[in-house]
A = this chain, B = another copy of it.
Amino acid sequence: MTSHGLTRFSINQMTVKKLSLPELAEACARVGVGQVGLWREPVQEYGVESAAKLMRDAGLAVTTLCRGGFLTDIDAHARVAAVDDNKRAVDEAAVLGTDTLVLVSGGLPAGSRDLTGARERIADALAELGPYAADRGVRLAIEPLHPMYAADRCVVSTLKQANDLAERFPADQVGVCVDTYHVWWDDTAPAELARAGAHGRLHAFQLADWVTPLPEGVLTGRGQLGDGSVDLAAWCGLARDAGHTGPIEVELFNAGLWARDGGEVLAETAERYLRHTT
């Protein structure tokens, strides 16, 4: 049973990554969480069909599958392999019953300094993946990542870039995923959030806080809600104003949280969500 106030809350599996899928389902039942965002690797390990059944039996809705993408390769073989892998990700999303596959677009290929070219290759791949996904009831959600990942993970660094890219395709094929961690610093992001909403492309909305100092490699330092610099209530208000009525997912890559008991972290995250988003 979903707790009052947590109706729109979704826990991204990465926040409590030590939990197995059955443990995640149990913890969600205990805390009163009715929605989860899943990741491909643990789902594949458990078995995609089995994971889908587990979620269905637990009454858990899958809000997103993370993640496809990495579409910036230059080499033709690597590009074909990447598109094939993204099609498998779409298939997995369809089996899991989620309508949203989050894309992390990919960084600069080794030795390349051509951001513009890399961004254009993403568009090329989306032209093939978009129809494939829509045919299976899955929308691709381009997630702009913080500019500190531009070289090695994602050349789409702003919500404006993500919107520009998405709008080259129909909205039921390609939209955006907005995570406060990546866009909180950007004074153009509020207008771009409204733009995404107005065009029916705000396919996923995620929360994480920004805390410093950043850890080496800057991957595992996302802050628990309320611990950092992001005005989460304001961002939730902007998403609401943009017409977003869907899930609000919390995805925290955080070495400190990962070291703790997953059930405890889930309960804490739900409590922080209630405290800081309204």
Interface of A toward B, CB cutoff 8 Å = 108, 112-116, 146-148, 150-152, 157-158, 161, 184-187, 210, 212-218, 228-231, 234
Q: Beyond A115-B187, A146-B148, A157-B185, is A214–B210 a contact (Cβ under 8 Å)?
A: no
B115 touches A212 (CB 8 A): no
Complex contacts, A216 vs chain B, CB 8 Å = 213-216
A4 vs B149: C-alpha distance when bound (angstroms): 37
A214 touches B212 (CB 8 A): no
- Across chains A and B, which 8 residue pairs bring their CB atoms closest together, nearest first? A150-B185, A113-B231, A151-B229, A148-B148, A216-B216, A147-B185, A213-B217, A152-B212
Q: What are 8 A-B pairs at a CB distance below 8 A?
A: A113-B231, A114-B231, A115-B187, A147-B147, A151-B185, A151-B212, A157-B185, A218-B218
What secondary structure prevails in chain A residues at the interface with B?
Answer: loop
A248 → chain B closest CB, angstroms: 18
A230 touches B148 (CB 8 A): no
Complex contacts, A116 vs chain B, CB 8 Å = 187
A210 vs B210: C-alpha distance when bound (angstroms): 22
A271 vs B227: C-alpha distance when bound (angstroms): 45
Residue from the list B152, B215, B229 in contact with A108, Cβ < 8 A: B229
A161 touches B187 (CB 8 A): yes
Q: Beyond A186-B157, A187-B161, A216-B215, is A113–B230 a contact (Cβ under 8 Å)?
A: yes
A122 vs B124: C-alpha distance when bound (angstroms): 43
A150 vs B148: C-alpha distance when bound (angstroms): 12
Complex contacts, A161 vs chain B, CB 8 Å = 187
Complex contacts, A213 vs chain B, CB 8 Å = 152, 216-218
Determine the residue in chain B with the shortest Cβ distance to A148.
Answer: B148
B214 touches A217 (CB 8 A): yes
Determine the residue in chain B with the shortest Cβ distance to A153.
Answer: B212
A218 touches B148 (CB 8 A): yes
A162 → chain B closest CB, angstroms: 12
Complex contacts, A158 vs chain B, CB 8 Å = 186-187
Q: Beyond A216-B214, A216-B216, is A115–B185 a contact (Cβ under 8 Å)?
A: yes
Complex contacts, A218 vs chain B, CB 8 Å = 148, 213-214, 218
A251 → chain B closest CB, angstroms: 18
A158 vs B152: C-alpha distance when bound (angstroms): 20
Residue from the list B113, B186, B187, B228 in contact with A151, Cβ < 8 A: B228
